[in-house]
Chains A and B, each alone.
Chain A
């Protein structure tokens, strides 16, 4: 798989009257699962819309999949999928008709479009509802449908704008798992825009934090975690008290969280001392989450710096 940047922007700006929605955004993003993080109104959706040419760029330039945005609209969109945040569908169609139609609009011949529509509806878990009118779908079903129409033409990159909005926790988990698999199992670059840190942290390997139209942070999740190392969340089947006492003996702060996990501040770059302790105590961990709040801390820190600068 090519590691050439899928998204490149140079001084990208977008103005809505006096308001600057994007301010001189310069980025290079490689293929992968990319999380666009930012508070509401930060410019995440505008950034995606500019790349998809749903909104004209005020100044600067952008390249998507190596092609100049603004010049090769149809060719770019043939290779790109988009699931918008707002509720939208083409009225009067059943689910499979709608997804077939979307595939045809992306250039697939009818037979292929129909076949893939059925496959995608199965893939997103809407197989049972394929013949129901889209207008009667629930919010959760519409979110799945948006995902199905976005990937039906097998794009190289898919933009998902707040794909878990309006979903119950189970639905959220299913959709995120599905989105995660798009890159990890099938090699489709995913750009996930969300203000929910947990969603992004669960799915994405690369993080871009945007606020006030500016890019505050662009790095891999791994690097962000490394920067914030020294803490971990440990899940144990038993022996919580024994483990907490041992931590105190090493001057490590250890607290029991409401979800039953133990948060340990070991202040080391590596998890090895923690693993050694558990080995000594013969307490096999069910799960260890390194730097569990790295994303949150980075996000808050970036926003604080941004506010201070403003």
Chain B
């Protein structure tokens, strides 16, 4: 049978716009990432954590409900925890505008801090699917010969990483906030918790943008599928080890760790130190319990190294941009 018994047909339709083409690249990247079973499992863990966070917010609200199970639990606790719970209940009743915001700020701070390593892990696992494999199979030439520019390609790949972090990080945060406050006994919880949500979103967007950019850069370092995740995890772990050591010797060296830099930005975004002080002032029992925290730690919480961290991340992102420019080319 001659090959072209199947006749060629001309196409006379309207072309989709450039954003549709960028979306196709992003969607393809995200779908490929979610095909990875490790990533799917990590996503499930993140969503379960989101539901747990919602449960914690729900339980906090239950402090205001007389004879609720939470109130009965606290009655059975030791005198110190019982005291904290009672003071918290009083504070929630008398100053909801301050107490809800402060408590949820602290809760979301820790929640975000726990979600971050999971997101970094998931991103590391999916790194080869971003650019590494395209380099290995010369797919860059195919992209470059289509109606997309190099900028469109980068934007699509960046959006794929950003989309993955939305699934891993942003969605569980929003889920926790929405479900937790929906189940609260008072609608004021919604309004008073907007500030913590905003803090989480601001930090989240910074984190997602930075991690996506860095992931693209690392993904383009090599065309070997094992090397790029290895580099990512080594950088992550090594940075985590170096940062506390460098604290007292070479403080600037702390900023080679992107998790340290992001941690500092998180502290600054949530004003964690200020929340801490507010809580201590309003719940004296808590103040006594936390009074043993070393001054050095408190100072680190109250004065995060924001400038250095922003500069550190900017340098890393610039390096990622240089790598992308040099490595991702059809030539």
Contact B137 A91 (CB under 8 A): yes
Contact B147 A89 (CB under 8 A): no
CB distance from B144 to the nearest CB of A (A): 5
Contact A174 B3 (CB under 8 A): yes
The verdict on B330 contacting chain A, using a C-beta distance below 8 Å, is yes
Complex Cα distance A92/B33, Å?
11
Contact B28 A119 (CB under 8 A): no
Complex Cα distance A104/B26, Å?
12
* CB-CB under 8 A for A88 and B137, given A54-B144, A123-B6: yes
The verdict on B146 contacting chain A, using a C-beta distance below 8 Å, is yes
Complex Cα distance A199/B8, Å?
22
For chain A, give the interface size range.
Answer: 35 or more
Chain A residues within 8 Å of B8, by CB:
119, 123, 151, 181-182, 185-186
Contact A74 B148 (CB under 8 A): yes
CB distance from A123 to the nearest CB of B (A): 5
Partner of B138, one of A55, A87, A108, A182: A87
| Count, A-B residue pairs, CB within 8 A | 124
A:73-106 near B, CB below 8 Å: 73-75, 77-78, 80-82, 84, 86-92, 101-102, 104-106
CB distance from B255 to the nearest CB of A (A): 35
With CB as the reference atom, state the residue of chain B lying closest to A79. B147
CB distance from B327 to the nearest CB of A (A): 15
Contact B141 A84 (CB under 8 A): yes
Chain B interface, number of residues (Cβ within 8 angstroms): 41
Contact B145 A82 (CB under 8 A): yes
* CB-CB under 8 A for A55 and B331, given A88-B141, A125-B3: yes
CB distance from B172 to the nearest CB of A (A): 27
The verdict on B291 contacting chain A, using a C-beta distance below 8 Å, is no
CB distance from A111 to the nearest CB of B (A): 9
Contact A108 B148 (CB under 8 A): no
Contact A153 B16 (CB under 8 A): no
CB distance from A73 to the nearest CB of B (A): 6
Contact B11 A89 (CB under 8 A): no
Partner of B145, one of A84, A91, A122: A84
Contact B6 A74 (CB under 8 A): no
Chain B residues within 8 Å of A54, by CB:
141, 144-145, 330-331
With CB as the reference atom, state the residue of chain B lying closest to A127. B6
The verdict on A154 contacting chain B, using a C-beta distance below 8 Å, is yes
The verdict on A166 contacting chain B, using a C-beta distance below 8 Å, is no
Q: Which 4 pairs across A and B sit closest by C-beta, in order of nearness?
A: A88-B138, A107-B15, A122-B6, A105-B146
